[in-house]
Copies of this chain bind each other. A is one copy, B any other.
Amino acid sequence: MPSEVRWLTAQEERVWRGWLTLNARLSATLHRELHDDAGLSMPDFEVLVHLTDSPAGRLRVSDLSRLLQWERSRVSHHVTRMESRRLVQRVECAEDGRGAFVVITPEGRAASEQAAPGHVYTVRRLVFDALSPEEIEALAAIIDKLLAQVDNQPDPLPTH
């Protein structure tokens, strides 16, 4: 860090605060809807989405960790809690020693299918319906740039 701090300008401060407020509002709304519709939390739903996107509905903890951008210990703990609710199951993989798979259960698929329409409806209503095609284009470009910038940093996830 340089000795001289370049504090944020008034506009940058407003953008950053707005970003944080927007995220807090969006996640509160999405969390509440998932809970009411299917008894899921937002983290539950994110795990289920990645599993339903995977062939055979299964992923290793290490892959889930990368896709979710969570530390492995958080993934493990969360999977344990979801397992006790029968949404996922851990299946050992004897042949390769690279650790267990997390597999979505029929109950997990049912919960995800129950949650998805309302979730998508809300994302569309709160985000995409408010923006013009040009703004969606601009937002896509900005997000790509910021993801590249963040990916350019040392990996924040511990490897163990």
**Which A residues fall within an 8 A CB radius of B?**
1-2, 5-8, 11-12, 14-16, 18-26, 28-29, 32, 46, 68-71, 117-118, 120-121, 123-131, 135-136, 138-151, 153, 156-157
Contact = CB atoms under 8 A, between A and B. Distances in A.
A127 B28 CA distance: 23
Give chain A's interface secondary structure class: helix
Nearest to A138: B138
A15 B126 CA distance: 14
A141 B143 CA distance: 15
A22 B146 contact: yes
A28 B126 contact: no
Nearest to A46: B20
Contacts of A150: 22, 25-26, 29, 126
